[in-house]
Amino acid sequence: MADLPLMITLMTVLIYLLPSCIKSSEIILPKSLNLTLLTDPSAISAASHDFGNITTVIPGGVICPSSPAEISRLLSYASNGERKFQVAARGQGHSLKGQAAVLNGVIVNMTCLAGVVISDDMKYADVAGGTLWVDVLKNTAEKGVSPVSWTDYLHVSIGGTLSNAGIGGEVFRNGPQISNVLELDVITGKGEMLACSSQLNSELFYGVLGGLGQFGIITRARIVLNHAPKRAKWFRMLYSDFTAFTKDQERLISMADDAGVDYLEGQLFMSNGVVDTSFFPQSNQSKIADLVKSHGIIYVLEVAKFYDDPTLPIIGQVVDMLTRTLSYLPGFISMHDVAYFDFLNRVKAEEDKLRSLGLWEVPHPWLNLYVPKSQILDFHNGVVKDILLKQNSTSGLTLLYPSNRNKWDNRMSAMVTEEEDVVYIIGILQSATPQNVPEVESLNDSIIRVCKDSGIKIKQYLMHYTRKEDWVEHFGTKWSDFSKRKDLFDPKKLLSPGQDIF
């Protein structure tokens, strides 16, 4: 008993020393593989964290492949006989909760495999799996062509978004990014290198798209291209009435096949959050702040129309439609005329701003949901008004906009709310401090609980479940195919274990 204080002191010292001497577990690759495994502290540390900044998962090592064949050799070795280690492809690590991580296993740094080759007829680009979407845009737009579906943020990888879905303001018109892929090269969990498409190895093709990295590592994707417009007319309009806001959003996306807008999203200004009015003229900014204060929530409809020649009559028609037939608050419309590239790359400016304030590398307990159109008002009342608006404060952004369900292909692994033609995309994108992560996470849990209790049929996007039954529920009728595909393409369960599915 006399030694107890000494033992406590020793244990305390150990606990404090531990993080500085955490070592990755040792993986030894046979020389015959001819692969370099990086195990230096900087490589390990960079691969242990992600954008979510909530988890730390330490890999055994990192490889920077110089060709797909190297990944194939790694996976053939790891899957041969007894499972030797698990493997996770990592794009930018912009996951939220360790989805691109692997404990004691090998991270494949996909950014080492990047590049864009545009076909002669300029109808598609063959893009290496680790390429950033911003680089696809730079390479294609230079030749007057462009992919047709974008995420809000372009500094994410091809393989990373195609493993999820890749959603944004063009989904209502062109579908998610996974709907705009013609072919893939994939290395399965057994190390096989397979090309696949809707015609060739289709089981693998549909499995991998939205497949959360479970069936193979994408080393090449053939992405659909179309004409790249030169400029965008980019509008934001304010609403104080939720029904008027969603009615206008839904009307605009119903014109997806006509000459309507090219991009549509929406966000909320809430009186308990940060209200960024900088898009609007200085003369309107304090009026907007007053509106938010008096209404509690102001809804921001955001659209863009792309164009080449400013004299095209269509631009005039669209501007006319927006200004005359939509029921935003009179006077609260603002338009910017920007280059197509700058419009698509708009979040980079936000990133730079947040980085300069030290607010980018903070915890991000984000919650992304799909909500069916028939229940969006219930969601608004039960979640936005009754939960979010009642918080003392919120930090970050809340997105809310509809998209057309028929632009998704149900044969793919990606899940989205079924049954209805229109599905709302919701992003409750809160930033946190290390101290209040549990509080924000429990807020997210309560949002999910309220939806379940009130029968709102949500599906999560970029989710992280730890219980098998949650995954089974998430995939619903697709679960059986999803787990069969796992047995077929990754029977040793090597790939992307950070998703915690198998």
Pick the closer one to ligand FAD by CB: 88 or 253.
Answer: 88
With contacts defined by CB under 6 A, name the span among 94-102, 251-259, 329-337, 405-413 that binds ligand FAD: 94-102
Stretch touching ligand FAD by CB under 6 A, among 37-45, 156-164, 194-202, 255-263: 156-164
Give the shortest CB-96-to-ligand FAD separation in angstroms: 7
Q: Residue 60 or residue 329: which is nearer to ligand FAD going by CB?
A: 60
The per-type count for the chain, helices as H runs and strands as E runs, is: 16, 18
Question: Is 265 considered catalytic here?
Answer: yes
Does position 110 interact with ligand FAD (CB under 6 A)? The reply is yes
Output the smallest distance, CB 376 to ligand FAD, in A: 19
Q: Which helix (H) or strand (E) holds 289?
A: helix 282-295
Which residue lies nearer to ligand FAD by CB, 322 or 416? 416
Of 139 and 219, nearer to ligand FAD (C-beta) is 219
Binds ligand FAD by CB under 6 A, chosen from 71, 74, 125, 167: 167
3-state helix, strand, coil in the chain (%, to 5): 40, 20, 40
Residue 35 sits in the site that holds ligand FAD (CB under 6 A): no
| HEC sequence for 99-152 | CCCCCCCEEEEHHHCCCEEECCCCCEEEEECCCEHHHHHHHHHCCCEECCCCCC
Nearer to ligand FAD, 333 or 494 (CB): 494
Least Cβ distance, residue 11 to ligand FAD (angstroms): 36
Q: Does 206 bind ligand FAD (CB under 6 A)?
A: no
In the complex, minimum distance from the CB of residue 256 to ligand FAD, in angstroms, rounded to a whole number: 18
Helix (H, G, I), strand (E, B) or coil at 55: coil
**One residue of 129, 147, 229, 266 binding ligand FAD per CB under 6 A:** 129
Of 140-148, 307-315, 387-395, 493-501: span binding ligand FAD (CB under 6 A): 493-501
- Binding residues for ligand FAD, rule CB under 6 A, total 36
Out of 61, 91, 147, 372, point to the residue binding ligand FAD (CB under 6 A): 91
Among residues 99, 174, 345, 404, the one that binds ligand FAD under rule CB under 6 A: 99
Nearest approach in angstroms of CB 252 to ligand FAD is: 19
Question: Rule CB under 6 A: is residue 151 a binding residue for ligand FAD?
Answer: yes
Compute the distance between CA of residue 211 and CA of residue 178 in angstroms, rounded to an integer: 10
Instruction: Compute the distance between CA of residue 420 and CA of residue 411 in angstroms, rounded to an integer.
Output: 17
User: Helix (H, G, I), strand (E, B), or coil: what is residue 164?
Assistant: coil
Q: Is 473 a catalytic site residue?
A: no
Catalytic residue at 420?
no
**Of 125, 145, 196, 218, which one interacts with ligand FAD (CB under 6 A)?**
218
- Contact with ligand FAD (CB under 6 A) among 61, 105, 147, 166: 166
Write the CB contacts of 62 (distance below 8 Å, at least 6 apart in sequence).
37, 38, 39, 43, 44, 46, 47, 106, 107, 108, 109
Residues 6+ apart with CB under 8 A from 139: 116, 118, 125
Using CA atoms, how far residue 170 sits from 179, 256, 366, 478, in Å, is 12, 10, 21, 26
Write the DSSP assignment of 400-419 as a string of letters: EEEEEGGGS-TTSS-----S
- From residue 417 to residue 456, the character string flagging contacts with ligand FAD as x (rule: CB under 6 A) and all else as - is ----------------------------------------
Single out the residue of 164, 179, 267, 394 in contact with ligand FAD (rule: CB under 6 A). 164
Give all strands (DSSP E) within 253-332, no chain letters: 263-270, 297-307
| 167: Cβ contacts below 8 Å, ≥ 6 apart | 151, 176, 177, 403, 425, 461
The values of phi and psi at residue 423, to 5°, are -125, 135
Q: Does 459 bind ligand FAD (CB under 6 A)?
A: no
- Residue 333 touches ligand FAD, criterion: CB under 6 A: no
Q: Is 100 in the site for ligand FAD (CB under 6 A)?
A: yes
Q: Pick the stretch among 12-20, 162-170, 189-197, 381-389 that binds ligand FAD (CB under 6 A).
A: 162-170
- Closest listed residue to residue 429, CA positions, set 365, 386, 369: 365
β-pairing, 193-197 with 181-188? antiparallel
Given the rule CB under 6 A, which of 211-219, 242-250, 390-398, 479-487 is the region that contacts ligand FAD?
Answer: 211-219
CA–CA separation, 107 and 44 (whole Å): 9
Q: How far, in Å, are 136, 354, 355 from residue 348 at the CA level?
A: 15, 10, 10
- Find the part of the chain contacting ligand FAD (CB under 6 A) among 84-92, 319-327, 387-395, 440-448: 84-92
Residue 235 DSSP code: E
Q: Which two tokens stand for residue 434?
A: 């290390």
Name the active-site residue from 265, 364, 380, 490.
265
Is 106:501 a contact under the CB 8 Å cutoff?
no
* Dist CA 355 CA 419 (whole Å): 41
CB of 3 to ligand FAD, least distance (A): 47
Task: Give the residue numbers marked as catalytic.
Answer: 94, 152, 265
Contacts with ligand FAD by CB under 6 A lie at 51, 88-95, 99-100, 110, 129, 151-153, 156-157, 159-161, 163-168, 212-213, 217-218, 347, 462, 496, 498-499
